[in-house]
Chains A and B, each alone.
Chain A
Amino acid sequence: MKRFDYARPMDLESAVATLSAGGEGTRLIAGGTTMFDLMKLDVEMPGRIVDINNLSELKTMETSGDELRLGALVRMADAAEDARLKAEFPVLSEALWKAASQQLRNMASLGGNLLQRTRCAYFRHGAPFACNKRNPGSGCAAIGGANRSHALFGGSDACIAAYPGDFAVALIAMDALIDVAGPQGRRTIPIAELHRQPGTQPQHDATLSSEEIIVQIRIPANAVGKASTYHKIRDRESYAFAVVSSAAAVRIENGVVADARIALGGVATVPWRASRAEQALIGRRIDAQTAAEAGRIAFEGATPLSHNAFKIELGANVVSDALMIAAGRA
């Protein structure tokens, strides 16, 4: 692992100033479960690390009001156990406890989890494999290689690496907002604008600048959270990334769908909202037929690769099952 110098600021303003002072090659660390991992692999090679774990203002969790506010340094395990999340937003709690292991959930921060980098093996394991995300301009070994775990949505000629996380997929279905602090002050972005598709610059996963820090995640506490689920299909029963996952939530009025939310994980370069499938459900009853139809619509436009075309049928079934589970909680 490359040597790095280390700083541990004590408040948010100082952390932003320290990031700026560090300049090129300076990275944040929170739980470290992605950053330290990738540093050991020489995929991330920062010369300077800013440890933000002492920023107490990022550790608060306020879930009692009209808006849930989850500090960026709240640990995944703690948010997963929050009583209101479990009761009124099962999609959020399930997305958290179905990710990683309890050891890693005790370490990983919510903000860091949103920015978790891809698990593409060519990205992680370096030479002799080409990877435009790791080494811009070198090519993409996955496009003609082993691409079972790669994206069917949102890829480009430069990169097809899948976004690996779960919580961001649930958050995009809940229309969450992300508060960010940087040298120019604070700003708020919808989570749908946090991640960026690879295009010609796959080295940039997110729309944040290198001097910005996620402060908190805000979720509108509306009625669409309760009848929800995060349905995650894995190669083993626990402690694995999604082969396909679906966040689903519905609000039923007079027996028909008034609001539907569907997002996909494991199959796209970014957390993927399936808006057309949502629209197709409005005003209809949820039953095996309409749920299956929504699942098929969610996977329309998918671009299968040589090893993952099976995910179109599997994914449609995952969405369908997720909708039935969610509707069962209405």
Chain B
Amino acid sequence: MTMNHEKEVIADTGGLSRRDVLKGGTALGVLSVAGFGTQSLAQAAVPSLPMAFRTEVEVAFRINGAQSALALDPRSSLLDVLRDQLGLTGAKKGCDHGQCGACTVHVDGRRVAACMTLAVQVDDLDVTTIEGLAEGDVLHPMQQAFIDHDALQCGYCTPGQIMAGVACVREGHAGSPQQIREYMSGNLCRCGAYPGIVAAIEDAARVMEG
């Protein structure tokens, strides 16, 4: 098939990728789900040509070190996939609009709001949730510090607070109570456990940096 011929085919099919064309003009959005992670969108790239739009997207997950793959409706948020499809209910749904921080997880080591992250956007990236923080039975220093300082009451915001707190220390933003308050402002606690949370992060920072 020559490039010219392929461009004509693409024009006729409304912007399908080379792979779709080679697969015999399959309908928009139909995706093979055979094989783990091998049908990633990256491998379908055809420079300068329009990419195919898909109704369902296969996503390769690496969550707390474990690999899995799911064919997803692209509307799925990372939070909904974690909770509803992968059984990881530690990250909580508070506002579902990125305003409360209860859903905080790490993507490639950076804290993000899982509710505002499209699950397809973590394809092939490392995700860490509160379930992946402890080393076996040994709690992470941040988890232990939250217990030691009674840094919670109802506990709903706690997984997000702890994940944000770990990132806050690693970023170098836990140098003073004032800086901790500024860089933890994306995590709300309706019980008002803030003094304990700040104390716990100060304490854990000493252990983590020690």
Contacts and interface: CB of A to CB of B under 8 A. Distances in A.
A32 B86 CA distance: 23
Contacts of A101: 98, 101, 185-187
A238 B98 contact: no
Contacts of B181: 237-238
B116 A7 contact: no
A20 B50 contact: yes
Contacts of A29: 118
A100 interface: yes
Interface in A249-263: none
Given A101-B185, A238-B181, A239-B186, A17 B48 contact: yes
A308 interface: no
Interface residues of B, number: 47
A18 B52 CA distance: 8
Given A5-B28, A103-B186, 18 more contacts: A1-B75, A3-B55, A6-B54, A7-B52, A9-B45, A10-B51, A11-B47, A17-B49, A29-B118, A39-B75, A51-B120, A101-B185, A103-B112, A104-B98, A104-B113, A104-B116, A104-B186, A106-B110
A77 to B, nearest CB: 8
B186 A21 contact: no
Closest A-B pairs by Cβ, 10 of them: A101-B186, A21-B15, A238-B185, A21-B50, A6-B74, A5-B53, A10-B45, A239-B185, A7-B51, A13-B48
B92 interface: no
A8 B168 contact: no
Contacts of B150: none
A258 B45 CA distance: 52
A32 B117 contact: yes
Interface residues of A, number: 41
Nearest to A75: B110
A53 interface: yes
Contact of A100 (B96, B168, B186): B186
Contacts of B207: none
Nearest to B113: A103
Contact of A107 (B15, B29, B113, B168): B113
B118 A32 contact: yes
A33 B98 contact: yes
Interface string A87-126: 0000000000000111110110000000000000000000
B53 A32 contact: no
Interface string B158-183: 00000010011001010000000111
A4 B75 contact: yes
Interface of A: 1, 3-11, 13-14, 17-18, 20-22, 29, 32-33, 36-37, 39-40, 48-51, 53-54, 77, 100-104, 106-107, 237-239
B171 to A, nearest CB: 7
Contact of A14 (B45, B55, B73, B113): B45
A14 B75 contact: no
Contacts of B53: 5-7, 18, 22, 48
Contacts of A11: 45, 47-48
Given A103-B186, A104-B186, A17 B50 contact: yes
Contact of B120 (A6, A9, A20): A6
Interface of B: 14-15, 28-29, 41-42, 45-55, 57, 73-75, 77, 96-98, 101, 104, 110-113, 116-118, 120-121, 164, 167-168, 171, 173, 181-183, 185-187
Contacts of A32: 116-118, 121
A5 B112 contact: no
B173 A102 contact: yes
A268 B54 CA distance: 39
**Residue of B46, B55, B111 ringed by the most chain A CB atoms within 10 A:** B111
For A4, A21, A50, the residue with the greatest tally of chain B CB atoms inside 10 Å of its CB is A21
A103 B116 CA distance: 10
B47 A13 contact: yes
A5 B116 contact: no
Contacts of A238: 181-182, 185
Nearest to A26: B53
Contact of B51 (A9, A53, A237): A9
Nearest to A22: B53
Nearest to B16: A21
Contacts of A77: 110
A102 B186 contact: yes
Nearest to A13: B48
B117 A107 contact: yes
B198 to A, nearest CB: 13
Contacts of A9: 45, 50-51
Contacts of B52: 7
A5 B50 contact: no
B112 A37 contact: no
B166 to A, nearest CB: 12
